[in-house]
Amino acid sequence: MPAMKVALAQLSYIPGDIAYNKSKILNALEEARRQGADLAVFSELAVTGYPPLDLLLRSDIIDSSMAAIREIATHCNGIAAIVGGPSPNTGEYGKSLYNSAFFLQEGKINAVVNKALLPTYDIFDEDRYFKAGNTFRPVELNGQKIAVTICEDIWDEQPFGDRGLWRLYSVAPLDEIMRQHPSLIINIAANPFSHNRLRVREEVFVRNAREYRVPLISANQTGGYTELIFDGSSVLIDSDGTIIDKLGFCTEEVRTVEIPSPGTHRSSLSFPPPLPDDMTGLIHRALVTGIRDFFDKGGMKKAITGLSGGIDSAVVTALAAEALGPENTLALLMPSVYSSGHSVSDSVKMATDLGVPYHIVSIEDARQALEKTLQPFFAGKAPDVTEENIQSRLRAVILMAFANKSGYMLLNTSNKSETATGYGTLYGDMAGGLSVIGDLYKTEVYRLAREINSHAEIIPQAIISKPPSAELKPDQLDTDSLPPYSQLDPVLYRHIDLEWPADRIIADGFDKELVEKVIRLVRTSEFKRKQTPPILRVSSKAFGTGRRIPIIAVRS
C-alpha cells in the first residue's frame, strides 16, 4: 500500500467570518490537491476561527458554519478533508453544540468526531458552549484507520505545576480509540503561543506518538486573535517520537507530508531545527504577528504611540513600525518641564532613523493651566502623585486627540512589571486599544530591545542604557517607587506565573520585606488591571482572561 500523503493546512482565520474562513479553506484544499495529497487537515473550529466565544450562541453563526461545511464537502472529490467546526447537539440533554471534526469524503460529510475533553483552565472556557463527546472510533481512508482527535483530547495527561505529570480527566480518548488499531493519529488544534509552554506542547505530542507507537500529526492554526497569538508550528512526528517535519512559526502554509511507514530510513527526511534556548526571538515574531493581525483583521491601518525616550515606548514603536510599516506609525513626543533633553533627542533620533513620522507636542502650557485651575482647591497641600498623574493624563488626552482626528489606534506601552504593581496611571499611560508588551516583565523588555537591535541599531543604545524613569518630577527614577527590576521581576514571576504564596517565595531565598511589599502591590492593583486594554499574550499567565482574580480578595 503506498504511503499516505497528508496536507497540513496552517491558516489564519477571522472569528465569526464564516465566508472568509470558508474561502481560505477551499483555496487551501485546492493547493493540497495540487500537491498530490490524499487528505487535507485543517485546525480546530476552522470554519468559525478559534475562539469564537459567544458568537457560538448565535443561531445564524451555527447555521452558516454548517452550510460552509456542507459546501466544503462538495469539493472533496479525489481528496478527503478533516475540518473543525461546531455541530448541533441533536440529543435530549446537554449543551446545544459539540466541538467537532468533520471528515469529508466523496462530496459528503462521512463522519463527525466530537471533542471529548473540554478545557476550562487558562484562557479556555469550552464547557460554557459545548457538550463533551463520548464516542471513540477511527475514520477510514484508503484502507487505513485514522484516530482523529481535537486538541485537548491528547492532553489528558500533562505537566501541571509542581505535580509533574498530572491526569486532568477521567477518560483518555486515545486509550479508547487505539484499541481499534489505527495507523495514524491526527490532532486538529488551536494551541496559542506561550513561550514557556512551547516545549511542553512538543513533549505531549512526542509522548503520545511513542506511547502508542503510531505517527502523529498536529495541525494548528496561526495568526493573531485580539490578545491571543497562534504560532502554527504544525508538526509530523514518527512512531518513535522523532519530529520529522514542522511548519513555520506564525506563518500561513499548506504543506503535504508523507506519513512514514514502519522501518522508514530517515536520512531522506527533513528534520526541523530544535526550539531555541532563548525564546526572545520567537516572542519578537509573535508580537509583530499580534499587532499586524489586530490591525488587519480589525480593518485598521495606522498606529500612534507616545515616544517618551524610555525603553518601553521605544520597543513598542519599533514593533509597530515592523508590523505596520514606519509610514503607518506616528510617534508623539510630549515633553514637560521635567523631561530631560536627551529623552527628546533620543526619541527624535530613533524616529528619524526608523522613518517614523513624529511630532513634538509640549504639555507644559496645559500642565500649568490645569495646576492653576486646581490651585484654589489644593492650596496648602504639597505636590504629590496627583500632579504626576495629571501629566500622564494630559499626554493621553493629546494622543487620543490625534488618534480620533486622523484615524489612528493608540498602542499601550506598559510592561508586565508595571501592570502587576500598579505603577501606571488610569486614563493616562494605561490608555490604548491594545497593550503590546503587557505580558513582558521589564527585564524581558530589555532582552527584547537587544534582540530588535541584533541586526541593526533600531533603538538607540542611549535609550537602552539609561536608568528607567517616568520623568514626572525632578530627578525621578522608577526605583523611587519600586525595587530594582532585577529583584522585582523574579518575585513577580514566582507569584504571578508560578502562583507561589509569599512563604514559598521567601523560602526560595528572597527578602521577606521585599516579597510582602510586592505581593501587596499586586493585590491592591487588581482594580486597575480590570481597566487595561487587551494584552498580547506570550506567556502562560498573562493578565486578562487567563488570570481571573477578584478585585476584593483576601488580604494575605
Query: Regarding predicted confidence, which is higher, 116 or 477?
Result: 116
Active-site residue (options: 22, 24, 44, 388): 44
C-alpha 366/C-alpha 390 separation (Å) is 10
Distance CA 52, CA 120 (A): 15
Domains defined along the chain, listed by start: 5-261 (3.60.110.10), 282-478+525-529 (3.40.50.620)
Considering only CA atoms, which of 484, 482, 490, 352 is closest in space to residue 422?
482
405 is catalytic: no
Q: According to the model, what pLDDT value does residue 164 have?
A: 66
The percent of residues in the chain predicted with pLDDT above 70, rounded, is 96
Residues counted in the chain = 556
Categorize the per-residue pLDDT at 546 as very low, low, confident or very high, splitting at 50, 70 and 90. confident
pTM here?
0.94
Q: Beta-carbon neighbour count of residue 129 at 10 Å?
A: 20
Mean pLDDT, all residues of the chain: 92
Q: Residue 235 pLDDT > 80, yes or no?
A: yes
Which among 115, 246, 297, 416 is annotated as catalytic? 115
Check residue 168 and give its pLDDT. 82
**How much of the chain, in percent, has pLDDT values that exceed 90?**
82
- Could you check whether the bond before residue 51 is cis, i.e. omega within 30 degrees of 0? yes
Q: Are 347 and 377 in contact (CB under 8 A)?
A: no
151 in catalytic set: yes
Distance CA(131)–CA(223), nearest Å, equals 27
Mean pLDDT to the nearest integer, 523-541: 94
pLDDT over 50 at 339, yes or no: yes
Amino acid at residue number 536: L
User: CB of 186 within 8 A of CB of 148?
Assistant: yes
Which band of pLDDT confidence, cut at 50, 70 and 90, is reported for residue 185? very high
The closest of 293, 282, 350, 348 to 316, measured between CA atoms, is 350
Residue 466's pLDDT is what?
86
Nine-digit cell at 554? Answer: 483576601
Residue 354 — pLDDT band, cuts 50, 70, 90? very high
How many Cβ atoms are within 10 Å of 175's Cβ, its own excluded?
12
Query: Which residues on neighbouring strands pair with residue 211, listed in sequence order?
Result: none
Residue 474 vs residue 337, higher pLDDT: 337
* Residue 260 cell numbers, joined: 512514514
Q: Which pLDDT score, from 0 to 100, does residue 340 have?
A: 73
CA angle 86, 88, 89 (to 5 degrees): 120
Q: What is the pLDDT of residue 479?
A: 78
pLDDT in tens, 198-233: 999 999 999 999 999 999 999 999 999 999 999 999
* pLDDT for res 43: 98
Q: Which amino acid, residue 364?
A: E
Q: Where are the beta strands (DSSP E) in 269-373?
A: 303-306, 329-333, 358-360
d(CA 297, CA 289): 11
Q: Report the pLDDT averaged over residues 402-416.
A: 96
Per-range mean pLDDT, top range of 157-161, 524-528, 543-547: 524-528
**Residue 234, pLDDT above cutoff 90:** yes
Is 465 exposed, middle or buried (CB count within 10 Å of its CB: 0-12, 13-18, 19+)? exposed
H/E stretch holding 452? helix 442-452
Q: Is the dihedral of CA 186, 189, 195, 197 positive or negative?
A: negative
Backbone angles phi, psi at 448, to 5 degrees: -65, -40
Per-residue pLDDT at 69: 98
pLDDT at 4: 93
Answer for the pair 46, 21: CB distance below 8 angstroms, yes or no. Answer: yes
State residue 440's pLDDT score. 97
Closest alpha carbon to 168 in 187, 149, 185, 152:
152
Among 360, 303, 291, smallest CA distance to 330 is for 303
Candidate list 22, 76, 126, 151, residue with the active-site label: 151
Residue 161's pLDDT is: 64
Tens digit of each residue's pLDDT (9 = 90 or more) over 437-488? 999 999 999 999 999 999 999 999 999 998 877 666 677 777 778 889 999 9
Tell me: pLDDT of 160 over 80.
Answer: no
Who's near 290: CB < 8 A, 6+ residues apart? 224, 227, 229, 436, 536
Helix axes of 485-492 and 442-452: crossing angle, nearest 10 degrees: 110
Which pLDDT score, from 0 to 100, does residue 268 have? 44
Instruction: Report the pLDDT value the prediction gives residue 270, as an integer from 0 to 100.
Output: 62
Is there a contact between 12 and 232 (Cβ–Cβ < 8 Å)? no
How far, in Å, are 39, 283, 294 from residue 253 at the CA level? 15, 20, 20
**What is the per-residue pLDDT across 56-110, written as a single tens digit (0 to 9) for each?**
999 999 999 999 999 999 999 999 999 999 999 998 888 999 999 999 999 999 9
Please tell me whether residue 471 adopts helix, strand or coil conformation. Answer: coil
Residue 364 to residue 383: CA distance in whole angstroms: 16
**Amino acid at position 260, single letter:** P
Lowest mean pLDDT among 161-165, 180-184, 406-410, 435-439: 161-165
pLDDT for the residue 462: 93
Looking at 127-252, which runs of residues are DSSP E strands?
A: 139-141, 144-150, 157-159, 165-167, 184-189, 216-220, 222-225, 228-231, 235-237, 243-246
Indicate if the alpha-carbon torsion angle 130, 131, 136, 142 is positive or negative: negative
- The predicted-structure confidence for 261-308, as pLDDT tens digits, reads as follows 755 545 445 667 788 888 999 999 999 999 999 999 999 999 999 999
Query: H/E element holding 39?
Result: strand 39-41
What's the pLDDT at 555?
67
Q: For residue 253, what is the enclosing H or E element?
A: strand 253-258
